[in-house]
Each structure stands twice: as structure tokens, then as C-alpha cells.
Chain A
Amino acid sequence: MTTPVLDIGDLSLSFKTDRGAAHVLDGVDLSIDPAEIVGLVGESGCGKTTLARAILGTLPAHQTRIARGHMRLGGVDMIADGEGARHARGRTVTFVPQDPLLSFNPLFRIGTQITDLMRWTSPAQAGRRWGRSRRIDEERALAMLAAVQLPNPREILVQYPHQLSGGQCQRVMIAMALLPQPRMIVADEPTAALDATVQIQVLGLLRRVAAEFGVAILFATHSLGAAWEICDRVMVMYAGQIVESAPRAVFFSRPSHPYARQLLASEPELGRIPKAIPGAAPSTASLSPGCPYEQRCPRVTEICRSARPPMRQLETGHWAACHNPWTTASDLAHT
């Protein structure tokens, strides 16, 4: 058995707001193995970005309170060991953003931004500003740009961000995320801002990167189509909780949480009419004692209103938090 890169258990986190505490993450369990791609799917506000940012340590510290749980990344306790966590972030775990163009500094050439990053993440390895060592940095950057399938890396280094297309920018971002030799990459909607034809290329690239570099990827997305394309495992989030977790093939053939089924039915796909999910997600400031999905659920029963369903294993590796899960194959025309 391999040791997971990231191990999160029972993580509960709340934000201070004017109207009291908002429980944005509630008992989240998540572990990712090396080279594994885990898809985190759910509607906006379900907590997937918060979870991603909790791992990256970019949540506003003075408003965030971690009530329970642990988070270990490559042997470092990310909650108790502040110094270790600071060192791990940007090195052991890196980030691929949603909008690559907004994440570059528009005033500096791509090459400068890449070598600056190398100097910051691994000062011992990186060369000094001038001379031979600077060329070594550039060689490493060029090799990495070639690894993300950019056809003319030397040209890219001297260009400014606005001179690149969205797809090229995202490839450079992926290269920069790989340069510190991380064990894990957090990608938050990395293809949402790209054209359909470019989107599929970047998804393919992420999948290859995971296999080739052995890096684990946490892939937050609202698109189940994208999750279908690259994930090894799919986790569905709702109101700050993981409500279902299953290997890809199992998830797409027999999702068991009613929310997962409805989400799948609302996914736009060629030649199929998507079905809306009635109602809206509950406010995380005032959750009912029962199941968070109780108000929108077509399979709601009496117990759903009073008791929170625990995560239960339905078959090997397939977990769902539901009192009344589907056990049959999905009836959607998906096969």
C-alpha cells in the first residue's frame, strides 16, 4: 500500500461573518495517492475552493477557524507545524489557477517570472542573477516548457503574458507548478476559461503530467464532463461536506447519492437536454440537524429531516453519506 501524499481527516473549518460563523467545511475526509487525480465536484459555494485554499494556506487567517481535524502533506502536519507548512506550500504542493492570464504579472516577461519562481522555491539549486548559473535556470525552464508541449519554448520566455493565448498561458502555469518538483498540484477549475478544443488538450496534459511526474492532482471543477475525462476518483461536495466518493468508473455508472445523480442529469452534453435541480443550496450559516440535501432531495424520507447521514461504504472504495442511496445503475443514457 502506498502512503498518501495528502491525508485530511475530519477537517471542519468556519469563517467569521457578521451573521455568525459559517461552517464552510464540515468533517471532510480526503486522501490522495501519488500520481492520482481526484476530482472535487459540486456547485459554487459548496466548499471546493475553500478546501483547495485550506490546503494551499491562502485563506484569510484572521477570519478562518479550524475547529477539528488534521491535514498531513508528505509527512508535514499542515495545521500544527506552521513553519513546516509554510515551507511545503509552493514547494510540496503547488497551484494551477482558473484564469492564467490574471495570475501573471503583466509587466514582466514569462522567462523572468519563471526564473524568479525557481530562485524563490529552491534558492540552493538556482543560480545567481548573472552568469552561467542563470543560463542553467533558463535551460531548466525551457525543458519544462517543452514537457508541457509548448512548441517554441525559447520564444515564450521572452514574451509578455498578453502575447500568449489562454491555452499557452495555462501550459506555462502548469510548467511553473511542476518546476519546484511538487508531490501534489491543486488545480481549481483550470480549464473553465478556455475554449472547448483547448480545454480537452489541457485536460489531457494534466493527465499525462500526473502519470509522468508521479504528482497527485486535486482537481476542483463544476464540470462532470471534465471529471470524466481525467479523474481516477470523484468526490462530490455539498454544503461543505463530502457526500459521495467513488472510483471514476463506479461513480459514473452507479452514482448513489441523489445529489450526484441530479448533478449528472444537469450536465450539458451533446444531444441531451439537461435537467435542472430544483431549489438552492442551504446557507452554511444555519444548517438543519438532518441531511443538508434534505430540501432538494427526491428520495427524502422521515429520518433525513432529523439525522445527519454518516459516510457509509456501499462497495469497495465507494462511499456515500445518504440514508436512502441509489443502488441500481444510473438510468441516464450514459452507456
Chain B
Amino acid sequence: MLLSIESLACHFPVRGLFGRRIGTVRALDGVSFDVAAEEVLGIVGESGCGKSTLGKALAGIVPPAAGSVSLAGEEIVAPGRSYPLAARARLQYIYQDPSASLDPRWTLRRSLHEPLIVHHDWPQAEREAKVRDIMAAIGLPEALLDRYPHEVSGGQQRRIGLARILMLAPQIVILDEPTTGLDVSVQASVLELLRDLRRAFNLTYLIISHDIAVLSSICDRIAVMYLGRIVEIGPITQILSDPQHPYTRKLVASSPRIGGPRLTDNVSLASD
């Protein structure tokens, strides 16, 4: 197994007036699963279910309260353990908002050079060659390199975000809502790009999304999260055709199918 997650938990304190601790939010509550090399695993759930916390815990952005994560046998996340630098290059995380992960005062070229400066000791010319290679692989014109983030479109910003993490040749990429906020036509092209890159670079993806329809078009397996736990995990065909958990059933039943029965004909309108 490339990535093994063993009863991972993340707790956040709830503070009242004067910063006194009055409770705990169990954002992740004992999550265990494995990810095989070159697999695409989707993580779906409603807002607040802990799916983004899971991604951030795996990338070492949020410290765990218990449990462990190992990457190809080496433990990378555990309570009190600092995240190994080498693992940072091998496991990369892409934030939900692409514009927020690019420095607005840096040209895209500088943003793309930065990971190579941090992790490698390459001369400038070699870095520039790598940047141009990746730009070509991602299908962006080199003319964009001298622009600033606000000068390119949302779809291009996502592509730059992808280019940036590919600089370090990672094995696993965690994508948090990679298609949210994009038009359907752009969304489809980002999904196509993800499929192409996976083949070209032998990548493993962990895709976090609230949209099971988007996940169903790219994932091999799907994990369904509910209130900080994984309630169901399985191959995509099985999740869609034979969902077991009540929440999974509701999720699959809430996805409109053009040409199929109208869901609003008999949906229960009452608020939960």
C-alpha cells in the first residue's frame, strides 16, 4: 500500500468567552483506509463532515490527535511527530481556492520556481527548463509565465496550481474540491487534464469533493464521510449501484439524472 491511514483523529477545541475550553469538535474520529499506488480515491461528504480536515491532516497541515499515516511504509503523520521534508515533496496538497495559493505579487514563473528552490539545489537554467516542460505537459502557453495570478482565468489558475505541485514529481496528490467554482465546460477540461497527468506521471490521487457526480467520472473507489467518520468505502460501481449506508443512498438519490425521473417530483421538502 502506498498510503496507509490508521485510526486517524483530529480534534479541535471549542472555546467560550475568555478562551475557556468548553468542548471538542471531533472533525476526524478514527478514520482508517489504504490507498494503492496509482489509484484514484474520491472522498465525498457534506460540508462540515471532515473531508477537508482529512486532506489537511494527511498533508501535515493539521496535527492529529491520535492515529498514524504512513507513506510507502514510512510513518509521516503521528501525534507529536514533525512532518518529514522528503515526504512533503512526495505527497502534495492542492488547496480549494487556486488564487489563494498563489502569491499575488509574484509572477507565475516565480511561483513555479519556488518549490524547486526549496527542495532542490538546481541551477537557474535547469529549473527554467523544468518549468517549461511542466507548462507544456499541462497545456499552458509559456507566455503566461510572466503574468500575475489576477491576469489569468480561474481554469488557468487551477492549471498553474497543478503545474506547481508537479514540479517536485510527487507520488500522491491530494486535491481539495478541484472543480468547485468552475463552469461545467472548464470543469470537464480540468477532469480531462487530471486523467492525462495521472497517466503521464503515474500519479495517485485523493480527490476531495462534495459532488459525487464529478467523482464518479474519475475515481476508482469512493469513500463516503459523515460526521468525521468513513461510513462507506468501495469501488465506484458498487457505491452507485448498491449503496449501503443511508447517507450514501440519499447522496446517490439526490444527484439529478437528465432524462431520468425528476427527483423534485417526490423529494421530501422538509428541512432536516
Contacts and interface: CB of A to CB of B under 8 A. Distances in A.
Interface of A: 43-44, 149-151, 166-168, 171, 195-201, 203-205, 207-208, 222-226, 228-230, 252-253, 262-264, 266-278, 280, 334-335
A167 B259 contact: no
| Those 5 A-B pairs whose CB atoms lie nearest each other, nearest first | A225-B256, A334-B259, A276-B189, A274-B188, A276-B188
B182 to A, nearest CB: 9
A280 B153 CA distance: 10
15 contacts: A43-B185, A43-B186, A196-B251, A196-B254, A199-B254, A200-B254, A200-B264, A204-B263, A224-B258, A225-B213, A266-B187, A269-B257, A271-B236, A271-B237, A271-B240
A271 B250 CA distance: 17
B263 A171 contact: no
A5 B179 CA distance: 37
Contact of B264 (A168, A203, A263, A280): A203
Contact of A266 (B185, B236, B268): B185
Contacts of A222: 183-184
Contacts of B262: 228-229
B264 to A, nearest CB: 4
Contact of A252 (B153, B259, B272): B259
Interface of B: 46-47, 153, 179, 183-189, 191-192, 210-214, 216-217, 236-237, 240, 250-252, 254-259, 262-264, 267-272
A243 to B, nearest CB: 14
Nearest to A224: B258
B188 A275 contact: yes
A270 B185 contact: no
Nearest to A168: B271
B217 A272 contact: yes
A186 B186 CA distance: 26
A200 B217 contact: no
A226 B217 contact: no
A171 B271 contact: yes
A223 B184 contact: yes
Nearest to B252: A270
B216 A270 contact: yes
Contacts of B46: 195-198
Contacts of B217: 268, 271-274
Nearest to A226: B256
